[in-house]
Chains A and B, each alone.
Chain A
Amino acid sequence: MLSLLKSKTEATSASVEFEQLMRGAYRQAYSVAYRLTGDSVDAEDLLQEAFVRAYRFFHRYDRSLPFLSWMYRIISNAHIDMVRRRNKLRPSSLDHGGKDGDQALEIADLSFCPGVDLLNASFSDSVQKALNAMNPEFRMAVVLSDVEGMSYEEIAAIMETSIGTVRSRIHRGRTQLRGFLLKLQPETYGRML
Chain B
Amino acid sequence: MSRCEKINPLLSAYSDRELSTTESLLVRQHVYECESCAAELKTLEGIRGLMLEMPAAPEPRLSFDQLVAATRPRPVRRVPLILTLACVAVVASLLVPAMMKAEKIASQPSIDQELRREVARDQMIDAEADPTSGAPLVHLAGYSR
Contacts and interface: CB of A to CB of B under 8 A. Distances in A.
A142 interface: yes
Contacts of A52: 71, 73-74
A145 B16 contact: yes
Contacts of A174: 12, 44, 47-48
Interface string B45-60: 0111011111111101
Contacts, number: 88
A31 B56 contact: yes
B110 to A, nearest CB: 52
Measured as residues with beta carbon below 8 angstroms from the partner, the interface class of chain B is 20 to 34
Q: Is the interface of B mostly helix, strand, loop or mixed?
A: helix
A154 B68 CA distance: 28
Interface stretch (A40-48, A74-82, A92-100, A110-118): A40-48
Interface string B81-112: 00000000000000000000000000000000
B32 interface: no
Nearest to A38: B57
Contacts of B60: 26-27, 30, 40, 43-44
Q: Is the interface of A mostly helix, strand, loop or mixed?
A: helix
B18 interface: yes
B13 interface: yes
Interface stretch (A2-10, A57-65, A101-109, A165-173): A165-173
Interface in B7-52: 9-13, 16, 18, 43-44, 46-48, 50-52
